[in-house]
Amino acid sequence: MLFLSANMFGQLSDRVNNPSTLKIGTRPVQGNMGIYFGISYADIKDWVEEDDFEYAGIPMVSFKYYVTDRWVARLGVKASKLSKIEEGEIDPLVDGSFLEEKRFREIESEFLVTPGFEYHFTNANLLDVYAGGLIPFGRVKEEFVSDSRYTTGEYNYSTITKKNFAYGYELFVGLQAFIADLPLAIGFDLGLAGLGYFKDKYKHETNLSVGGITSEQIYYTVEKDTGTKYRSLTSKNFELEGNIRITLSYFFNR
């Protein structure tokens, strides 16, 4: 045993341990603020399929404020607008019709405000578990205007409008890990999001002049271009779906 001990001792190195440590992050505390960025499965699917998606959950960017070490207030804004205008004069000899002038305008806009909160269950500096809720509300608007004028003095002027009040809620749980010395956290959210619309209908107004006779017509539809024409219509819509989101947060002080 003495021989083995002496032999093993002779093989030990003289290495000195490095006193430095790797920082794995520090968690935010009361008074800290943050910018939250989250991209969801629904967002990615929408971009890949290039399809219209009414609501993919909370806004991708929102603001955080730590009211206490555990309670966090959140505020997000989601806004978008599409505007398309076409106006032109037509030469009947080239076009081969009586159409002389045509105008078209398309406007689609959305504005949602999303207040909410988070509650954080642990004080750990590495992994942070939280849950919360959001209450999105706002306005969604669509407008289509078509105006055609003819060399005979006849015209066809029509508008299609849709003005919705949007409301909803989202419940979520999340896990995030703090990296670097407080500035960053990366994680994911699992949520159940729903959004509904009041007055979910299109209003059609048409003004015609044919052969010196003018006429006006107003009716409502559920879809923009197809469906039953209603003299009056009450329509509501509510969509509920689950979602998963990858998150990135940047924290800072005042």
pLDDT in tens, 45-67: 666 665 544 444 456 789 999 99
Burial class (CB in 10 A: 0-12, 13-18, 19+), 158: middle
pLDDT in tens, 147-158: 999 888 899 999
DSSP structure class, residue 228: P
- Show the DSSP H helices in 59-137 as ranges: 92-95
Check residue 245 and give its pLDDT: 87
- Nearest CA among 164, 174, 177, 165 for reference residue 133: 174
- Show the DSSP H helices in the chain as ranges: 2-9, 41-49, 92-95
pLDDT in tens, 104-154: 999 999 899 999 999 999 887 788 999 999 999 999 999 999 999 988 889
Fold classified for 23-252: Porin (2.40.160)
pLDDT in tens, 85-105: 999 888 777 766 788 899 999
What is the pTM assigned to this prediction? Answer: 0.73
**Domain boundary assignment for the chain:** 23-252
Q: What would the two tokens of residue 96 be? A: 């081969």
- Show the DSSP H helices in 25-86 as ranges: 41-49
Q: What would the two tokens of residue 4 be? A: 């083995």
pLDDT in tens, 29-48: 899 999 998 887 766 766 66
- Nearest CA among 56, 59, 162 for reference residue 107: 162
Residue pair 95/124 in contact (Cβ under 8 Å)? The answer is no
